[in-house]
Amino acid sequence: MSLNPNFPQLLHTYFNDWLVGQRNIARHTILSYRDTWRLFLRFVSQQERCRVVDITFDQLTAEAVLAFLQHLEAERQVSILTRNCRLAALRSFFTFVADREPVALAHCAAVMRIPTKRGPRRAVCYLEPAEVEVILAQPDQQNVEGQRDHALLALLYNSGARIQEALNLCPKDIRFAPPAQVRLEGKGRKERICPLWSETADVLAALLRRQPRAPDAPIFVNRYGHPLGASGVRYQLRRYVKSAAAQMPTLRDKHITPHTFRHTAAVCLVAAGVDVTVIRSWLGHTNLDTVNRYAQASLETRRQALERIADQADIGKAPSWKGDDALLTWLESL
């Protein structure tokens, strides 16, 4: 079986006609898939000692994919999550090919059978209210950049938005009149409405008064008026956290990113007793398993549960099985 003449055309059709034209996949997803294929084709080129333009479909085997995934972990030191994302991008293409090239079905099936890799599930990192307060106090609101950063961090804490969801926000997406709310577009272009505290609405309104934006223009921009990027936010946040850690030493032991504010919002909602289905809708999650992680993360929730158990338990009364000598004798004989 040889699909050498078809491979470039298949890849072109996959990206332009299938992902964009038929499935309308989000641009960030397409860019991620594109980067995966750049890395994969360069890897295969080195392994096969040929130019990228000379790579054939026959060379893109399951063994090549497995070697590529191993290369990512061993040489590029990527996380298991990133490794699985790269694999998802490759499997998507081979699924596409399998539907259009019956002779390549077995070839594609071998790649699609490669399993995702399970990795360690780290504890959720979140901030205590006092820690959030100290971080929010760091930006210098006398200048427009500091006022912008303060408004952005307050929005992340209030809404639990993903960083890109917040950076895509336009004035038309915010309702400032009570009850204030914001419309966010999440993964899969799913829209959701989140309520805003009056304080958050006020700092956003103040920023727009100082730096007016068109209704459909991003609110958060850099000094040149271009949309602010996630990397710029991470850089500024690291500066604020370093400064805040001098006042709040507990911050030194935490790896804080913009996504930490999303975790913090979720844990606060759990601690407040908000129903998990409401939290799922608030954060734009697709299933409850993710929300349950926040319930496990909240130390305050655990403490309250332990206190309720202690209140209900009669510590001074021996359990009923203690008096059953026959049962204990039998258990000891096992």
Active site residues: 162, 187, 259, 262, 285, 294
Q: Which residue has the tokens 């009570």?
A: 178
Can you tell me whether residue 2 is helix, strand or coil?
Answer: coil
Specify whether the CB–CB gap between 148 and 204 falls below 8 A: no
The candidate with the shortest Cα–Cα distance to 93, out of 210, 188, 14, is 14
Q: How far is CA 147 from CA 40, 115, 198, 202, 281, in A?
A: 43, 46, 17, 12, 29
Q: Is the torsion defined by CA of 8, 11, 15, 18 positive or negative?
A: positive
The answer to whether the peptide bond before residue 5 is cis (omega within 30 degrees of 0) is no
- Radius of gyration of the chain, Cα coordinates, nearest whole angstrom: 26
CA–CA distance, 121 with 110 (Å, rounded to integer): 28
Specify whether the CB–CB gap between 197 and 203 falls below 8 A: no
Q: Which residue has the tokens 């999440």?
A: 186
Specify whether the CB–CB gap between 97 and 104 falls below 8 A: yes
CA–CA distance, 257 with 199 (Å, rounded to integer): 23
Specify whether the CB–CB gap between 1 and 107 falls below 8 A: yes
CA–CA distance, 241 with 132 (Å, rounded to integer): 10
Instruction: Phi first, then psi: give them for residue 183, nearest 5 degrees.
Output: -105, 125
Task: DSSP for 135-176, please give it.
Answer: HHT-S-TTSHHHHHHHHHHHHHHHH---HHHHHT--GGGEE-
